[in-house]
Amino acid sequence: MAKTMTKSQIADHLAGKASITKKAASQLLDDLATLAYKEAKNTFTIPGIGKLVLANRKARMGRNPQTGEAIKIPAKRVVKFRVAKAAKDAILGKR
């Protein structure tokens, strides 16, 4: 299995493609992440890749795997990432 790209490797690749410095590309990645965190409550979309959305999970009954005891899992808000159809098709190929 191939290793995942690090932030430094991604910045280096973007710097080469966009003819900018590696530092500027790294700053661009940081700014994009910060904007995504800030705007996630309103659904943050990266065209062609996907979107961050907030979802509410209902309270439910679960089970402690160690003891088998039933436990109540409280309701909570979670962040989900929905992959765009274009990304799925590009990665998996069209069916």
The per-residue pLDDT for range 3-40, each reduced to its tens digit, is: 899 999 999 999 999 999 999 999 999 999 999 999 98
Indicate the pLDDT class of residue 83, thresholds 50, 70 and 90: very high
What residues does CATH 4.10.520.10 cover in the chain?
43-95
State the burial class of residue 26 (Cβ atoms within 10 Å of its Cβ: 0-12, 13-18, 19+).
middle
pLDDT in the model for residue 57: 95
Strands 50-57 vs 76-83: parallel, antiparallel or unpaired: antiparallel
Query: What pLDDT, in 10s, does the model give residues 36-56?
Result: 999 988 899 999 999 999 999
Query: Can you give the pTM of this predicted structure?
Result: 0.76
Contact 31, 23 (CB under 8 A): no
Indicate the pLDDT class of residue 2, thresholds 50, 70 and 90: confident
pLDDT of 1 over the 70 cut: no
Q: How many CB atoms lie within 10 A of CB 77?
A: 9
Separation CA 63–CA 65 (nearest Å): 6
**What is 43-95's CATH number?**
4.10.520.10
Tokens 């098709």 correspond to 89
